[in-house]
Chains A and B, each alone.
Chain A
Amino acid sequence: MSNSSLLEMTAAFDCMHCGLCLESCPTYRATGQETQSPRGRIALVRALAEERLDYADVLPSLNACLLCRACEPACPSRVDYHTLVDEFRQAKPAKLLSWMKPAFFALLRFLRRCGVLSLAERIGTPTSRALAASVPSQPTLFPTHFTPPSPQLPQRGTVLLHLGCVQKSFFGDSLKSTANLLAAQGFQVEIPAQPFCCGSSHSHFGEPEKGNQMRTETVAALSQSADAIISLAAGCSAHLQEQSSIPVLDPLLFLNQQGWRTPPVTKKLRAVWDPPCQLDHVLNQAGAMRRALQECTHLQILEPEDAELCCGAGGMSYALAPEVSDAVTQDKIEKILRHKPDVVLSTNPPCRMRLETGLRKAGFKGEILHPVELLTVFSQP
């Protein structure tokens, strides 16, 4: 993109440099640096547009942005921050995108199992180390030919299960649990053939057209008549919901809306849940999810202090600017561990991976789960 088309980006000029967004930004909070704040990032893009800075000068600051969008509700000028970043990214799409293929995930699973990744976490470039560390310790693939159980009768409705690239490649077990839980609660679970990835990352990392096209294909694949599309990834839900005419929901949120047929039972556990940014700042569902969790688990769901701040998984900061996202994550992990949890819950795969990396490093021995597994793994007969 040329500087002149950047100049047309009104968002950069809507910002009046007041700084009221500073404290909402996790990277600013973690580093104290203006360059790591929304105001700083906007100023840099504006300077690029005005030819007062080069692309390379601006990139490190933008690479570290978590795209968590916490700065948007804080802004009195309603600066359209994420659009500004999306447009900036188009100049040079992130290289990592081309790797988001089934074979690459398969390779990562293999390397994890044979122990190579543990080695790679210690040697290599900061980016490759961060990538290696982010792969879960026991990744499970969702089987290609999985048949969901029939719904417990009387059937209440039908849902479509969205798999999602990371979810399907690393957290296949959660998807199975979800299908089982929904069936047990009286829903017919359909798993239509669908594209491997919904394109959410592409949209935010410089390939919006491709991202939109992938979304269109995914939504088309999931367009049968149904009560909802069920997704375990808040990031995918936010992306798909922009286009889907039926609601795209987390399974627990959906079941809580529908009412539980037989209330699930869970062990008495200290559970901490960290709300994903996409759920909180984009879908505005953090409150509903909190209630759903409380109601279905009957546990007091604890949240870390400053729960609204990103865990460090957002964007591609973890790979492109690991020193910044590590600082953000460390802060989050400290706040989670203050509650002395038995389990840590996450409702978005990238967050779950990020939290797992951080929690394991800090010596946490408990489980890190999607809450749907809390209901099945720990539910007593």
Chain B
Amino acid sequence: MDSEKSTAGRMKRKHLLVDLKHILGKAHVLTDPGSLLAYESDALTLFRSRPSAVILPKTETEVIACAKRLHQAQIPWAARGAGTGLSGGALVPPGGVVMALTRMNRILEIDPVGMRAKVQPGVVNAALGRAVEPYGLRFAPDPASQTVSTLGGNLAENAGGPQCFLHGTTTNHVFALRVVLPDGTVEDWGTPSGVQDGFDLRGFFAGSEGTVGIAVSIDLRLIPQPDEVCTFLAGYDSVTKACEVVSTLVAKGLQPVALEVMDQNAIRAVEDSVFRAGLPVDAGAVLLVEIEGSKDSVQKEKEAARTILQSFHPSVFKQAATAEERTQLWKGRKGAGGALGRLAPDSYVMDGVVPRSQLAAIMTYVEEVQKETGLHVANLFHAGDGNIHPHFSYDARDAEQCATVEDAGARILRKCLELGGSITGEHGIGLEKENLLAEQYTSEEINLMERVRQIFNPDDLLNPGKGLPMKRGCSEVFRRHAISHG
């Protein structure tokens, strides 16, 4: 009986592969062991799950045809952009199919007058930036992964970055999108003008972590490059002091475009890496403040900010004198995560949010956890948004350390909830935090979300098990690294 079933299963799979190859061409359906392994993780290597095939469509028509065929086969599948996600979002349960959208990387239209661009989902965030720069425009969301991550992935995770404090996260920069639903139906959500009428399904899609449908083209909002930019770097003796400065800046009504804090461990890692930015290695923390706008407004804000920053007696205080210096500072900030990766074989980036006023409290707690566990923790965070990113360095080959890291992470996130915050700021729930979601929301609330999702993804075959707690019995399908590693 069993063998009959598996023979039938094999036949079904074979037919499916033949059809997918027919749709996409042989070269774009990967089933060799090497390729499958390469797609077993995203940037969160804590989870691994090997797909049974990877498909790489080039056009919308191909995506639709594949979706229909996968729907017919009732096989779990998921989209993948660059695979820089930090919550296991682009993984499928064993036997599932990964649809990599990296070949759909054309910018379809740039409309400098309407200040919008239409892109395929596999366009890299920074590539769009480069393409619109000659028009004096930019795409505001600037995740630290922007040189490689795709706009489809940015949208699905509702990615944020330093500049999102003023400009808002990806969802604020999407006018419209074309979505292929799990059964291959095509929907257009939002309007190219950006005016939303009726239910805002466009907004619903942003941050849905690839569980609602596949975005095959996206209309994005562009904004003008600012006339003037001013970047301050201030070093303080402690992280709590830096947090206090942040609260004061905001309380005084200043509107910087970015407010970023790095602690000493992060500073030292940056200064010891290719991203060296001239940060003060002896400071307890540095605060990066960026102000942009018209010449007049920057002049005014700049003076106000300078006064506040200096009133807290920084050990180091400077303003980036040239565009290169400014770029170097941001390279340092954005490269910090990577630089920290050098410290140990593996690193784990946490993502949590607290109300800005509680930043000092959560940092004190992180320090307590660090002392208790003896783990190496470095902090860098989008202070303006209260979005913290403690980075743990560890060795995944040590099962005990893995458990300690996971436990420490969970404790910090619980503390975020206790302080009135949230368990994710921008990396999404993915596989990682679904159980904690049940602590943030009541079961009724989660049921409601589940029901909404079922309208679009009724069989839960598109990216199953992400974003919402899995149905009972399924939670072990994605094996954790330390366990599968052996």
What CA separation (Å) do A43 and B102 show in the bound complex? 19
> Which of A22, A32, A76 contacts B274 (CB under 8 A)?
A76
Q: Is the CB of B342 within 8 A of A77?
A: yes
Contact residues, B118-176 vs A (CB, 8 A) = 122, 124, 126-127, 145, 147-149
| A377 contacts chain B at the CB level, 8 A cutoff | no
| A101 contacts chain B at the CB level, 8 A cutoff | no
What CA separation (Å) do A53 and B37 show in the bound complex? 8
Q: Is the CB of B338 within 8 A of A44?
A: no
User: Chain B residues near A44 (CB, 8 Å)?
Assistant: 34, 37-38
The residue of chain B having its C-beta at the shortest distance from the C-beta of A28 within the complex is B102
What CA separation (Å) do A40 and B273 show in the bound complex? 23
Q: Which among A40, A43, A76 has the highest number of chain B CB atoms within 10 Å?
A: A76
The residue of chain B having its C-beta at the shortest distance from the C-beta of A23 within the complex is B148
Q: Is the CB of A57 within 8 A of B274?
A: no
Q: Is the CB of B38 within 8 A of A18?
A: no
Q: Is the CB of B342 within 8 A of A47?
A: no
User: Chain B residues near A47 (CB, 8 Å)?
Assistant: 37
> Which of A32, A54, A76, A77 contacts B102 (CB under 8 A)?
A32
- A76-B275 CB under 8 A given contacts A16-B341, A22-B82: yes
User: Chain B residues near A78 (CB, 8 Å)?
Assistant: 273-274, 342
| A65 contacts chain B at the CB level, 8 A cutoff | no
Q: Is the CB of B35 within 8 A of A35?
A: yes
B452 to chain A, nearest CB (A): 31
User: Chain B residues near A60 (CB, 8 Å)?
Assistant: 32, 34
Q: Is the CB of B337 within 8 A of A76?
A: yes
Assign chain A's interface to a size class.
35 or more
Q: Is the CB of A77 within 8 A of B34?
A: no
User: Chain A residues near B33 (CB, 8 Å)?
Assistant: 53-54, 57
> Which of A19, A31, A57, A77 contacts B82 (CB under 8 A)?
A19
| A17 contacts chain B at the CB level, 8 A cutoff | yes
User: Chain A residues near B39 (CB, 8 Å)?
Assistant: 34
Contact residues, B445-486 vs A (CB, 8 A) = 485
A327 to chain B, nearest CB (A): 10
> Which of A33, A43, A52 contacts B100 (CB under 8 A)?
A33
What CA separation (Å) do A68 and B248 show in the bound complex? 49
What CA separation (Å) do A75 and B275 show in the bound complex? 10
User: Chain A residues near B148 (CB, 8 Å)?
Assistant: 19-23
Q: Is the CB of B34 within 8 A of A61?
A: yes
| A323 contacts chain B at the CB level, 8 A cutoff | yes
Known A23-B147, A57-B37; 12 more pairs at CB < 8 Å: A17-B45, A20-B145, A20-B147, A20-B338, A23-B126, A32-B100, A32-B105, A35-B38, A53-B37, A75-B338, A76-B274, A76-B275
Listed in ascending order, the chain B residues whose CB lies under 8 Å from chain A are: 27, 30, 32-35, 37-39, 41-43, 45, 54, 56, 82-84, 100, 102-103, 105, 122, 124, 126-127, 145, 147-149, 273-275, 335, 337-339, 341-342, 345-347, 485
A-B contact pairs, 20 of them (CB 8 A): A13-B345, A16-B341, A16-B345, A16-B346, A18-B43, A18-B84, A18-B145, A19-B43, A19-B83, A19-B149, A31-B103, A32-B56, A32-B122, A33-B30, A33-B38, A43-B38, A58-B34, A61-B34, A76-B337, A77-B342
| Top 10 closest pairs, chain A to chain B, by CB | A76-B338, A32-B102, A16-B341, A40-B38, A34-B38, A32-B103, A57-B33, A57-B34, A19-B84, A22-B148
